[in-house]
Amino acid sequence: MAARAWFVDNWGEPESMRLGDLPASGEGIPLRVAAAGINFFDLLQIRGQYQDKPPFPFVPGAEVCGFREDTGERVVAFLRQGGYAQRAFADPSRVFPAPPQLDDAQAAGFLIVYHTSWFVLTERVKLQPGETLLVHAGASGTGAAAIEIGLALGARVWATAGAPEKLEFCRSLGAERAIDYRDPSWVEQAKGVDVVYDPVGGDVTELSTKCMRPGGRLAIVGFAAGRIPSLAANRLLLKNIAAVGAFWGGHVNANPGYLAETQAALADWIDRGKLRVPVRARYPLTDAPRALRDVEARKIVGKAVLTV
């Protein structure tokens, strides 16, 4: 029986994807997919709004957990494309043993968000024990990863989110303070932080410099709000603040061994119980369009994953 996958034949919306049969062969290690992580950039790629524009037809999805067809080993894999499928082909250098402490959905969903947050907090802003970290969009997949990694690094962690259940989710992960960003006083509530982790952009980025202590670091991780912000350079100057770009994908491409190093460090922390990797939103593969719409509408608490 042929393996099924979601194909993008033209730039469009999630509902314009086509569920069809995969070719029998491909480049790389063949995997029987058990779960595939969903990322916001998948939606942008389907629309042709992402920097990586693969030729048609392509299968979206950049992270999976599954089983090697040659050995039966349970593994996780980073993909260029191909995750929204029952079968995928992976570059051997981007395949790693799946942490046994995680189920398939957790193992698929932790890859990109935890690797990204590790890169941001350890490489770009060099978060130190005892510092206060403010995580924006704390109830998102990347925000949850940043909260857990920040705590594991010994920081005090505060988080922003936009609904009571999302604020409670941040607290459940260990955030000392959970702040509703819809409250106009959120800047006052967040004053006194050393490091800001910002995947949101727009007004959130511009206002974050008001929260920061002198000598703080602002990590610019993404622009989920849709607007690229402009920073007040005088505030950076007067407070000795550093605004730091954090493009994980570019760093990985420039440093081929970095994925394996990070995976080993994160797997060790999972083994020692430092990371719980919460995955609450699980959808069957056939519901991929609905899952993408829920991600876009910010209905998801934590990470969303397709189960196969």
Mean pLDDT of 176-194: 96
Same domain, residue pair 25 and 82: yes
pLDDT of residue 25: 85
Would you say residue 269 lies in a domain?
no
pLDDT of residue 224: 86
Find the angle CA(111)-CA(113)-CA(115) to the nearest 5 degrees: 65
Would you say residue 271 lies in a domain?
no
Would you say residue 272 lies in a domain?
no
- Report the CATH number that the domain containing residue 173 is assigned in CATH: 3.40.50.720
Same domain, residue pair 160 and 76: no
Structure tokens at 84: 């929204």
Would you say residue 102 lies in a domain?
yes
What's the pLDDT band for 215 if we cut at 50, 70, 90? Answer: very high
Total domains in the chain come to 2
Same domain, residue pair 34 and 21: yes
Mean pLDDT of 212-233: 92
pTM of the model: 0.96
Same domain, residue pair 200 and 290: no
Contact 290, 283 (CB under 8 A): yes
Would you say residue 126 lies in a domain?
yes
pLDDT of residue 62: 98
Provide the mean pLDDT of the chain. Answer: 96
pLDDT of residue 226: 81
- Report the CATH number that the domain containing residue 55 is assigned in CATH: 3.90.180.10
Same domain, residue pair 117 and 219: yes
Q: Give the helix ranges, DSSP H, for the chain.
A: 40-47, 104-109, 111-118, 141-152, 164-173, 186-189, 202-208, 233-239, 248-254, 258-271, 288-296
Would you say residue 267 lies in a domain?
no
Q: Is 195 a residue whose pLDDT tops 80?
A: yes
Mean pLDDT of 83-109: 98
Same domain, residue pair 79 and 147: no
Q: Percent of the chain at pLDDT above 90? A: 94
From 250, 265, 288, the end of a domain falls on 250
Same domain, residue pair 64 and 125: no
Domain residues for the domain of 207 are: 113-250
Q: pLDDT of 13-61, one tens digit each?
A: 999 999 999 998 889 999 999 999 999 999 999 999 988 899 999 999 9
Would you say residue 117 lies in a domain?
yes
Mean pLDDT of 176-183: 96
Contact 135, 150 (CB under 8 A): yes
Would you say residue 239 lies in a domain?
yes
Contact 67, 251 (CB under 8 A): no
Contact 292, 43 (CB under 8 A): yes
Q: Is 1 a residue whose pLDDT tops 80?
A: no
Q: pLDDT of 256-296, one tens digit each?
A: 899 999 999 999 999 999 999 999 999 999 999 999 999 99
Give 13's contacts (C-beta < 8 A, 6+ positions apart): 46, 47
Same domain, residue pair 95 and 117: no
Find the angle CA(214)-CA(217)-CA(223) to the nearest 5 degrees: 130
Same domain, residue pair 117 and 246: yes
Same domain, residue pair 232 and 288: no
Same domain, residue pair 16 and 94: yes
Give 34's contacts (C-beta < 8 A, 6+ positions apart): 64, 65, 66, 67, 74, 104, 108, 307, 308
- Nearest CA among 124, 127, 145 for reference residue 136: 145
Same domain, residue pair 85 and 121: no
